[in-house]
Structure 1
Amino acid sequence: MPMPALTLSPITDANRAQFLSVSVTSEQIKFSGTVAEAYGSAEEGIDFHGIWLGNQPVGFFKIDRLYHSRYPFAHDTGLGLRAFMIDANHQGQGLATQVVEALGPYLAKHYPDATAVVLTVNMANPGAIRCYLKGGFDDTGETWPHGEAGPQHIMRMDLASAPAKPTLRERFKPFFAWVRRNVPRGMRLFLGILLIIGGILGFLPILGFWMIPLGVMVAAMDVRLYRRWRSRRASRK
């Protein structure tokens, strides 16, 4: 029997109560909170959205239209993704990644003036980090140290009318994110040089010539001017 369709839609007064059934494990509450807590918040600029599997509510998230007024790293034309959760009984089925992949077109439709969606994800939540990267978010390389459950990575997805052909950096963004989190500064330059040499000498022919530009980008992570340029470029978006 085929799985029912997964859809996203704004939560209305008519179906608001249905999403109170969406819950996560006790360990996940510290990262996402609960639907009841989201409903009870008095924050302005918040829209509630539901995730459906057929006719069954299976997930929830908030879109913060005033994210830029709460967080200094956000741009005034960007949205904030908050309180994203998939019901505990429906986890492990790949639904979270499907939702994240659908977010770009969905948000572009409902918020046509927005240029990007930004989120913070706890450093101690590797499953969520992988999900966001796989679904189309970029790890900005910046962190937010004031998360309620600890330091957080800052991630961003541009909202475009049509998906562009992925660049080399986009294609290998999980690798770059892994390098930023696991390879100390100083060692990144060494790793980049090894990749460049590998591309030139061709001792890994299966990987190919792309090792040279990949190595340049890894090595550049240790160049102060490059990091400043990247930070300024991100702030202008």
Structure 2
Amino acid sequence: MGNVSIVKLEHFEDKFLNELENFDLPKEQIQFSALPKDILNTTDGQYRIVITNNGQAVGFFLLHTTDKVKNYSSNPNALLLTALTVDHKYQGKGFAKKGMLALPHFVKEFFPSYNEIVLVVNEKNFHAQALYKKVGFNDTGERKIGPIGKQILMSLSIE
């Protein structure tokens, strides 16, 4: 039996800072996301969420409750997910998938008035699209033009 992996979503704390600042991504992935160290300074309505494996930061993303959400959903109770990243050395181990599967429960616990998560994913970012579909996000059919091309708008209902 190998080590049991306990993957959780946690609100950012300073104890994760060093790990997050040392995240690394290959060039072909950086174009689609952002390194945590570049987006750790947030404003009101932006929440830094850390994907942990046995307490170690392995992934990171932002949830937004700001007016920016209105660009992606007419639902006043929607959250916007951006900048999902898994440190390169932890990729391919299912951490992003486990983190995203934990998201509905996490939202119910910490953002109980929200019932939808929306995100945009670049149409060339096939890995991310496959991940989001696997964990229940649906392609809304809407497209946005992003900084590096067309983006697919996806949505996940929180029951």
After TM superposition, the score normalised by the length of structure 2 is 0.90
2-side partners of 1:93 and 1:40: how far apart?
A: 28
Measured after TM superposition, the shift of residue 116 of structure 1 is: 0.5
Structural mapping, 1:24-43, within 5 Å: 24-40=25-41, 43=43
| Residues 128-139 of structure 1: pairs in structure 2 closer than 5 A | 128-139=128-139
Equivalenced residues, count: 158
Q: Which aligned pairs between 1:147-166 and structure 2 lie closer than 5 A?
A: 147-160=146-159
Alpha-carbon contact 1:62-1:81 (below 8 Å) kept: yes
2:119 aligned with 1:119: yes
Q: Deviations over 1:120-156 (max 9, x none)?
A: 00000011101000011111111112x1121100000
Kept in 1: contact 2:64–2:81 (CA 8 A): yes
C-alpha distance after superposition, 1:43-97 (max 9, x if no partner): 4411101011113211001001115456154422100001101111111122221
In structure 2, the CA distance between the partners of 1:67 and 1:99, relative to structure 1 (3 Å rule), is: farther
Larger-Rg structure:
1
> Which 5+ residue runs of structure 1 have no aligned equivalent?
161-237
Tell me, yes or no, if structure 1 residue 75 matches structure 2 residue 93: no
Aligned residue number for residue 99 of structure 1 = 99
- Letter matched to residue 78 of structure 2: G
Larger deviation, residues 16-25 vs 28-37: 16-25
Q: Which amino acid aligns with 1:8?
A: L
CA contact (8 A) 1:67 1:80 kept: no
Q: Aligned partners of 1:67, 1:138: CA distance in 2, in Å?
A: 22
For 2:121 and 2:110, how far apart are their aligned partners in 1? 23
Q: TM-score, normalised by structure 1?
A: 0.62
Inter-partner Cα distance in structure 1 for 2:110 and 2:16: 19
- Alignment check: 8 A CA contact 1:5 1:53 kept: yes
- TM-aligned CA distance change 1:2 to 1:67, over 3 Å: farther
Greater Cα offset, 30-39 or 15-24: 15-24
Q: Is the 8 A contact 2:78 2:116 kept in 1?
A: yes
Residue 2 of structure 1: how far off its partner (Å): 2.3
Please give the root-mean-square deviation of Cα atoms over the aligned residues, in Å. 1.8
- Structure 2 counterpart SS, 1:32: coil
Partner of 1:222: none
Q: Indicate the structure whose relative CO is greater, using CA pairs within 8 Å and at least 6 residues apart.
A: 2
Measure, in 2, the Cα distance between the counterparts of 1:74 and 1:88. 35
Given that residues 74 and 118 in structure 1 are in contact (C-alpha distance below 8 angstroms), is that contact kept between their aligned partners in structure 2? no
For 1:29, give the aligned amino acid.
Answer: I
- 1:87–1:130 Cα change, 3 Å: same
Cα displacement (A) at 1:13? 3.4
Q: Distance in 2 between matches of 1:135 and 1:69?
A: 21
| Deviation of 1:23 (Å) | 2.6
Other-structure match for 1:12 = 13
For residue 23 of structure 1, what is the aligned residue in structure 2?
Answer: 24
Report the CA distance shift for 1:74/1:17 in structure 2 as closer, same or farther (over 3 A): farther
TM-aligned CA distance change 1:69 to 1:118, over 3 Å = closer
Unaligned 5+ segments in structure 2 are none
User: 2:81 is aligned with what amino acid?
Assistant: L
CA distance in 2, matches of 1:36, 1:70: 26
